[in-house]
């Protein structure tokens, strides 16, 4: 992963492959952002004019390269757009800095070192730039040839020096350390999401979680098929029974001796979703390795909480299964007895995520945590509602839903609160079982949330994050978001844990 350092070195004498500066969109053309004063001075104060002549406007995501001034040891200046110029007495927002740093880091793939001279007012700005650089430099190269003679890809930017940071300041060092821990785990989640399903089945995912847990002092328990059968986990077994690769339920437990609160995170981990007997059509199954993104986010968040030493107890539940058609697979019309004791009529085997989550939610509820948050690539309906970059938040408590939304905004993740209208429950009535796994077609994302709510213990605060839209980016990269697995919800979950540890959440 890209190395990060804080530096107070003078820009002209800094040995690097490139100097990155920020440029904003002003009313009369590009405006050089704070942090780039030394570079602008070397252009005789005309850097904005030069960039304007080259067609730069300062728009977000824009990149302009130009030769470095005479006397600079770095050969190239990379000007990256920050978007609109802040109003008087305002500064650039954290998300603008993250995105600009991400674009610059991705642009400089193959370089050994770059110096980022972006606007830094305080430690929070340094942390945002660090996050953007680490996330933007990410690439998934496990299955590619990388090297001098390779034509398939370039190695990620190796090192970033954050100019304007204070190497000896405790707040700055803490901000960079936090960014490193969170981004390393988020990028690990991205790796898992991008790994082909022939190499990441439930057993393999569980092994990754076990190794990480042992490394970071996290307690881990893995329920295999035999243990799931003995425990009566009918939802997880019902989904995974059709695959040669058996399901798993992984429990990760991070505790802190000073903690007074307990959060439970539950992640949907369908390592490949064919739809089962309700088979997905061609064109809808090629990216279904990403259907374990919720479990990847929960796994990453628990490990990040442990690495940060947060004063909160966090339990992660990874409900892992592969949804495949076979002679042993669950059929539409079958009835499953869930871990909670409720029975579910399976009307569509492609609505499988809610089945594995239901068992994990009930297991999490048994420990009476202060709050439960589940994360899942659950419904195409949520993508239709909110698009490919925003996830939906549902909850059984309006104040908690608002708190989760605020945490997402603070973390830089696009999310939107959604309702749970009780009238939609009627569509899940079954003549055979306690409830069906399908309901009305319209509002399908809300129906799924209502189904999950049935498996949350009484009196427990709960939120559901449907990340189906932003979990896997099928388009081109943007900001610090790569093509492929994105690691959506990791930063929200970490922020929730931080707020809880600080006593600011419930």
Query: Which positions are catalytic?
Result: 280, 354
Residues paired with 223 in a beta bridge? 249
**Terminal CA-to-CA distance of the chain, rounded, Å?**
36
Q: Which two tokens stand for residue 326?
A: 């076979």
Look at residues 358, 338, 325, 301 and name the one whose alpha carbon lies nearest to residue 244: 325
Phi and psi for 332 in degrees, rounded to 5?
-60, 130
Q: Which two tokens stand for residue 404?
A: 């989760």
Residues paired with 466 in a beta bridge? 376, 392
Contact 128, 182 (CB under 8 A): no
Q: Is 298 helix (H, G, I), strand (E, B) or coil?
A: helix
Contact 69, 42 (CB under 8 A): yes
String of DSSP letters for 213-230:
HHHTT-EEEEE-HHHHHH
String of DSSP letters for 158-197:
-EEEEET--TT-HHHHHHHHHHHHHHHHHHHHHHHHHS-T
- Neighbouring residues of 299: CB distance < 8 A, sequence distance ≥ 6: 189, 192, 208, 209, 212, 250, 252, 267, 316, 318
Q: Residue 431: exposed, middle, or buried by beta-carbon count in 10 A (0-12, 13-18, 19+)? A: exposed
What beta strand segments (E) does 326-396 contain? 335-337, 343-345, 371-376, 391-395
Report the alpha-carbon distance of residue 313 to residue 390 in Å, rounded.
28
Parallel, antiparallel or unpaired: strands 343-345 and 335-337: antiparallel
Look at residues 86, 98, 74 and name the one whose alpha carbon lies nearest to residue 17: 74
- Looking up tokens 């299955």 gives 143
Phi and psi for 484 in degrees, rounded to 5?
95, -150
Radius of gyration of the chain (CA): 24
Report the alpha-carbon distance of residue 357 to residue 452 in Å, rounded.
7
């Amino acid at each position: 992963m890209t190395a990060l350092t804080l530096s107070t070195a003078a820009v002209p004498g800094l040995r690097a492959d490139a100097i990155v500066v920020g440029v904003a969109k002003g009313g009369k053309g590009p405006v050089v952002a704070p942090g780039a004063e030394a570079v602008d001075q070397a252009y005789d104060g005309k850097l904005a004019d030069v960039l304007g002549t080259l067609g730069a406007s300062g728009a977000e995501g824009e990149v302009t390269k130009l030769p470095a001034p005479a006397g600079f040891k770095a050969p190239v200046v990379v000007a990256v757009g920050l978007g609109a110029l802040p109003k008087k007495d305002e500064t650039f927002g954290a998300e603008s800095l993250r995105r600009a740093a991400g674009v610059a880091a991705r642009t400089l793939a193959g370089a050994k070192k770059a110096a980022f001279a972006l606007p830094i007012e305080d430690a929070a700005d340094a942390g945002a730039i660090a996050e953007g650089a680490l996330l933007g430099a990410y690439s998934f190269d496990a299955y590619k040839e990388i090297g001098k003679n390779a034509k398939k890809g370039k190695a990620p930017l190796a090192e970033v020096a954050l100019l304007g940071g204070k190497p000896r300041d405790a707040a700055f060092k803490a901000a960079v350390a936090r960014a490193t821990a969170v981004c390393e785990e988020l990028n690990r989640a991205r790796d898992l999401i991008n790994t082909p399903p022939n190499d990441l089945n439930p057993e393999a995912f569980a092994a990754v979680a076990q190794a990480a847990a042992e490394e970071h002092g996290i307690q881990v328990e893995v329920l295999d098929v035999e243990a799931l059968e003995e425990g009566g986990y009918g939802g997880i077994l019902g989904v995974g029974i059709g695959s040669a690769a058996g399901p798993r339920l992984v429990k990760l437990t991070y505790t802190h001796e000073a903690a007074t609160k307990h959060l439970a995170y539950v992640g949907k981990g369908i390592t490949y979703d064919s739809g089962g007997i309700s088979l997905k059509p061609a064109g809808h199954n090629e990216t279904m390795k990403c259907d374990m993104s919720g479990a990847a986010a929960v796994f990453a968040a628990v490990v990040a909480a442990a690495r940060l030493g947060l004063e909160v107890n966090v339990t992660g539940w990874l409900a892992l299964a592969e949804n495949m058609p076979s002679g042993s697979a669950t059929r539409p019309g079958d009835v499953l007895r869930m871990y909670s004791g409720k029975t579910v009529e399976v009307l569509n085997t492609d609505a499988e995520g809610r089945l594995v989550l239901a068992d994990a939610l009930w297991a999490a509820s048994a420990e009476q945590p202060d709050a439960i948050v589940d994360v899942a690539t659950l419904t195409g309906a949520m993508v239709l509602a909110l698009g490919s970059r925003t996830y939906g938040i549902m909850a059984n408590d309006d104040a908690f839903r608002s708190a989760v939304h605020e945490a997402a905004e603070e973390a830089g993740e696009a999310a939107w609160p959604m309702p749970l209208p009780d009238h939609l429950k009627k569509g899940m009535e079954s003549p055979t079982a306690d409830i069906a796994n399908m309901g009305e077609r319209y509002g399908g994302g809300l129906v799924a949330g209502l189904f999950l709510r049935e498996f949350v213990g009484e009196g427990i605060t709960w939120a559901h994050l449907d990340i189906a839209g932003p979990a896997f980016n099928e388009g081109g990269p943007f900001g610090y978001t790569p093509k492929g697995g994105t690691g959506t919800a990791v930063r929200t979950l970490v922020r929730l844990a931080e707020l809880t540890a600080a006593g600011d959440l419930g």
